[in-house]
Structure 1
Amino acid sequence: MLTPSSGEEVSGEEARLAAVRRYQVLGTAPDGAFDRIAALAARVFDAPMASVSVVDADRVWFAATHGLDGITQIGRDPGLCASAILHGEPYVVPDARTDPRALSHPLVRGEPGIRFYAAAPITTRDGQRLGTVDVWDTRPRRPSDDQLAALQDLAALVMDEMELRLSALRTVAAERDRRADAERLARTLQRTLLPPALPAVPGLQAAAAYHTASADEVGGDFYDLFPLDDGRWAFFIGDVCGKGADAAALTSLTRYTLRAAAIYDPDPCAALANLDTVLKGEYQGDDPRHCTALFGVLDPAPDGSFALTLAGGGHPPALALRADATVEALSTAGGQLIGLLPRPRFVRTTTRLRPGEALLMYTDGLIEAHAPDGTMLGQDGLTAHLSRARPRSADHLLSSVDELLRRLGPGVTDDTALLALSVPPRLAPPTQETR
């Protein structure tokens, strides 16, 4: 065990351990989320072993392992995990047998005979390092800068998942303490499954909304928008099967998996295929789970437009509102349900969003709503509504759909998630008269 050398260090370690306790992750049962991070880390490094570790007072506990079968925790011996949390950046041991920091570590001297070790710290918003995402190998090696950057991204994803879990735990505990009714609990839990706010994308307007059909039941619709590390942006929207707690768990898994998949390979079809593999691995036997989704990547161009690549798996088509007031369905017809079929097909399409154009994505609760006369809205009805309204900004687009949903009233029987993106029109250069 590491022994601090000053009172200041004791206080720092006490604060770190308090943060470890705060996130309530030590000793929890595996749920698959961290296992996928460990597997991705091993794949990025082409290494046989990886882990997500949490450093306790006198032990290192593995929240997830890949290739380290049977090892759930180790002592807090210096040189590997216990030393890595002392650094705010990636920690690398190229050859443990020649590195004085790690030479005497039990995993180096004994089985499995570790030679190479790399780790990125899992750091809270207030700077406390809870543990690390680790990669292990039995041969010496030197990682690339890109591999270390990816390891830092995976550590950040672990922290995001811990924050999400902590938020849910605090929400449920607070609601229980106040003996809140089922409606408030469901509404609060629903918020924890969605991003609290969309990020600002240069040159793009983005807006999202979630309409619940039942105030006391958690739905399974989801959406997200986030940056990639090459200047592009990724987004997705989807709908999982079922309602209630099971749907909430599946929604969290799906959203988290799609974000993690985009780090390894942001190709939209590859992201959906990765999700399909995860769902089949997590829900096997007689209790399969599935979802529909659209996954897209936006690539900004110098002229202010965005190249859009979109892939669909059983999801309604996105609608592009063009500058000439037409509404174009971006078809991914033929894309199949995710997590259900042996070898599903996912369909890709491409287009360009130019200044003055917008994109609407939605879940099927919208087009399956019924008018007072019993007719279903359908894609044709939605297209006709947007053609009449002619909204051009993301906010106006959602306002127009909100108005439609209010008009349909009790005919809306399923949750609806909405994600709208728009490219502001370019201002015309001033004329001689206006100068």
Structure 2
Amino acid sequence: MRREEHAGKEPDVNATDEARRLAAVRRYAVPDDPGDGALDRVASLAARIFHAPIATVTIIDDEWVRCHAGHGISARLCQTRRAVSLCASALAHDGAFVIPDASADPRVSADPMVAGEPGVRFYAAAPITTPDGHRLGSVNVMDTRPRQAGVEELDALRDLAALVMGELESRLATSRIVAAERRQRADAERLARILQRTLLPPALPQVPGLHAAAAYHPVSADEVGGDFYDLFPLDGNRWGFFLGDVCGKGADAAVLTSLIRYTLRAAAVYDPDPCTVLANLDAVLQQEHAGGVTPPPYCTAIFGVLEPGPDGFTVTLAGGGHPPALIVRANGTVEPLHPDGGQLIGILRDPHFAQVSTRLNAGDALLLYTDGLTEARTASGSMLDQEGLAAYLASTAPAGADDLLATVHELITTLGKGVSDDTAVLALSIPVRSTTVASREPCAA
């Protein structure tokens, strides 16, 4: 069990370690202007998880605690000098840090947020820690009444801090790519491949009892596409996964893809219900549209949750305007798994999302794909479509995730120039043979 740390004497900070930490702060170079859409969503989620009025995301340099996102308070107003700040106290601790009553702690009672408005009493924080162990700042939750923090709340706060670090890592990678592009504009193909890799997970995690495999098939080597997928752990033994496609290509599509992947992961931390996750993503894209983004950002996507059980997994999927997933059963039959009524994400007023559940037993496999595959043209000039893909899989009888990916790769190769759009594929399979039963359920209004 991870350790919760309460206020006490701050450890001595080695001058060399602090110099390295400050170098890391400069390396990640978070813009000094407060207010960051992605980080604001983290602060909002933190406040909702704790049922607290205030939450912030802060980065600490040698003199100032700089607030880059705030919920319930202006980000500019909550920036303070490091010497008196609550957040500076949190910086000195490895784990989640809690002050039940800040007014009783002489080290932080001088913080303007404690001594004045809004009169902070309860404070909890989780450090934003780089892969090499440097704490850049923290995700913070505050209340105006003394209280304690629950174990699940603190676990969620640590997860949100890890999400912030992942976002900063992604931005750092993107900034390095942009710098490389300015230096070597002639090498567009190489740079596009590097950028594309930053939009997709470098490897899928190992899930006990499940085999997962994914592939991305670009049509053009020098153009960045907007197809995306991911597989990641949720609470307990559950796992989340998604696959989708954004509108457009190039730099704008890359930015939108990064926002969508980050939002899906963050929303799943708060509530992994598939319909709720897609609804939260829709709200984020609608907000981007309201901000005057042109053309309006939208995407199609499938989000699912895997829950282990005897000899397999229960899978619950929600879809938003995306082609149906296909199940390749242990007996070789292929059937669609399609939530009824899922609509495009981010562009429609009050869109409807629906979900469907099924049981994957030993020998079964689930295939998710983007429409670059089903919209490809066959030798006769007709569209492959979902029925054609299902028939091809039934005729080849692939066994397992790797075999599914190899079969799709062979199909794409056979279609040749009939494939006019990028294709992303995610396959999940259970290693032994058995049977499954599927059931549909409506989403709550």
Query: What TM-score range do you get, normalising by the shorter chain?
Result: over 0.9
How far residue 164 of structure 1 moved from its aligned partner, in angstroms, is 1.0
For residues 42 and 157 of structure 1, the distance between their equivalents in structure 2, rounded to whole angstroms, comes to 15
Q: Tell me what 1:22 maps to.
A: 27
**What CA distance in whole angstroms lies between the structure 2 residues aligned with 1:72 and 1:194?**
35
Deviation of the 1:61 alpha carbon: 0.8
Q: Corresponding residue for 1:90?
A: 96
Matches of 1:366 and 1:67, distance apart in 2:
45
User: Which of 150, 154, 157 is the matching residue for 2:160?
Assistant: 154
Residues in 2 aligned to 1:96 and 1:225: alpha-carbon distance in whole angstroms = 40
- Partner SS, residue 77 of structure 1: helix
The match for 1:137 is 143
Corresponding residue of 1:400: 407
Aligned to 1:229, the other structure's residue is in SS state coil
Counterpart mapping for 1:93-242 below 5 A: 93-242=99-248
Q: Cα offset for 1:242?
A: 1.2
- Where do 1:272-421 residues align within 5 Å? 272-284=278-290, 285=292, 287=294, 288-301=296-309, 303-421=310-428
Shift of 1:180: 4.4
Whether 1:256 and 2:262 are equivalent positions in the alignment is yes
Conserved? CA contact 1:49–1:67, under 8 Å: yes
- Give me the identity figure in percent: 62
Query: How many Å separate the matches in 2 of 1:385 and 1:260?
Result: 36
Q: Displacement, 1:5?
A: 9.9
Secondary structure, counterpart of 2:106 in structure 1: coil
Alignment of 1:11-90 (within 5 A): 11-27=16-32, 30-69=35-74, 70-71=76-77, 73-78=79-84, 80-90=86-96
Q: Give, as a single letter, the amino acid of the residue that structure 1 aligns with 2:386.
A: Q
Q: What is the CA-CA distance between 1:156 and the residue it aligns to?
A: 0.4
CA distance in 1, matches of 2:298, 2:389: 26
Helix, strand or coil for the counterpart of 2:154?
helix
Cα distance in 1 for residues equivalent to 2:390 and 2:239: 26
8 A Cα contact 1:206 1:420, kept in partner: yes
Amino acid at match of 1:375: S
CA contact (8 A) 2:34 2:69 kept: no
> Once superposed, what is the RMSD of the aligned Cα atoms?
1.7
1:145 to partner: Cα distance: 1.1
Structure 1, 214-223 or 262-271: larger mean CA deviation: 214-223
CA contact (8 A) 1:26 1:61 kept: no
User: 1:419 & 1:374 partners in 2: Cα distance?
Assistant: 27
Deviations 1:132-183, CA, capped at 9 Å, x for gaps: 0001122221111111111000000001111111112223323443444222
Task: Measure, in 1, the Cα distance between the counterparts of 2:334 and 2:88.
Answer: 57
Give the Cα–Cα distance (whole angstroms) in 1 for the partners of residues 169 and 379 of structure 2.
43
Q: TM-score, normalised by structure 1?
A: 0.94
Q: CA deviation at 1:304?
A: 1.9
Q: Deviations over 1:308-327 (max 9, x none)?
A: 11111111000000011100
1:372-407 Cα shifts (integer Å, max 9, x gaps): 321110011101110011001101100000000011
Amino acid aligned to 1:220 = G
TM-score of the superposition, structure 2-length normalised?
0.92
Contact 2:181/2:188 (8 A) holds in 1: no
Q: Gaps spanning 5+ residues in structure 2: where?
A: 1-9, 435-445
Paired positions, count: 422
The 3-state SS of whatever aligns with 2:362 is: coil
- Is the 2:364–2:433 Cα contact (8 Å) retained in structure 1? no
1:286 offset after TM fit, Å? Answer: 7.0
Higher mean alpha-carbon deviation, 288-297 vs 175-184, is at 175-184
Pair 1:5–1:421, CA change in 2 (3 A) = closer
| Residues in 2 aligned to 1:65 and 1:118: alpha-carbon distance in whole angstroms | 15
Distance 2:77 2:253 in 1: 32
2:33 & 2:331 partners in 1: Cα distance?
55
